[in-house]
Amino acid sequence: MEKKYKTIKSSKVTISELMLPSNTNFSGKIHGGYILSLMDQIAFACASKFSGSYCVTASVDTVDFLNPIEIGELVTMKASVNHVGNSSMVIGIRVVSENIQTGKVKHCNSSYFTMVAKDSEGKNAIVPRLILTNHEEVRRFCEALHRKEAKQDNKNIKKTFDYTSPESLRDIESMDIKIEL
């Protein structure tokens, strides 16, 4: 079977939504969970568009809420594939909000979702390979590789770390934490 290649441009998706009072948290700002839900939707759309398959969310990397989003602001999310594996894709998402009266735009969030393509039987489906067309795409691809390696390193540390050893317990207590076992 001949390998299929696609450009990152072919994966790009943009959505915009006006933030309503019904989407607020107890402090009157737009609820982070609502923004995460929109991010999951655009990650799905981007991954499905690129792969031509139904896709599921496998993981969400660090989500930092940089600036609050106000009622009445227009939120725009942009997503594109940054990296591909055999059946997985790393989707980069950037979230900005715009005060539609003043025109002021602020960066609110960036995150990376790992999505997995599925076939009609629910098994992992092969995704197209990437064609990188500029240095920015190469940078994003390489950064995704580094995040993937760091994630694996962290898993390996968790497997080997002995949190019950006297040395580990002393290290924890040195942080002004009491341990009463």
Reported as a single tens digit per residue, the pLDDT across 16-72 is: 999 999 999 999 999 999 999 999 999 999 999 999 999 999 999 888 899 999 999
Task: Say how far apart CA 39 and CA 43 lie, in whole Å.
Answer: 6
| Residue 37 near residue 77, CB atoms below 8 Å | no
H-helix or E-strand containing 147?
helix 135-160
* pLDDT computed for residue 1 by the predictor: 65
Does residue 119 carry a pLDDT above 90? yes
pLDDT of 156 above 80: no
- Sketch the domain layout of the chain as residue ranges: 5-131
Question: What CATH number is given for 5-131 in this structure?
Answer: 3.10.129.10
Cα distance between residue 34 and residue 24, in whole Å: 9
Model confidence band, residue 152 (pLDDT cutoffs 50, 70, 90) = confident
Q: What percent of the chain has pLDDT over 70?
A: 99
Question: Who has greater pLDDT, 151 or 51?
Answer: 51
CB 17 within 8 A of CB 73: no
Pure H helices in 5-101 = 32-51
CA distance 65 to 67: 6
For residue 158, pLDDT over 80 is answered with no
> What does each C-alpha distance from 97 to 20, 25, 80, 169 come to in angstroms?
13, 17, 18, 45
What is the average pLDDT value for the chain, to the nearest integer?
A: 94
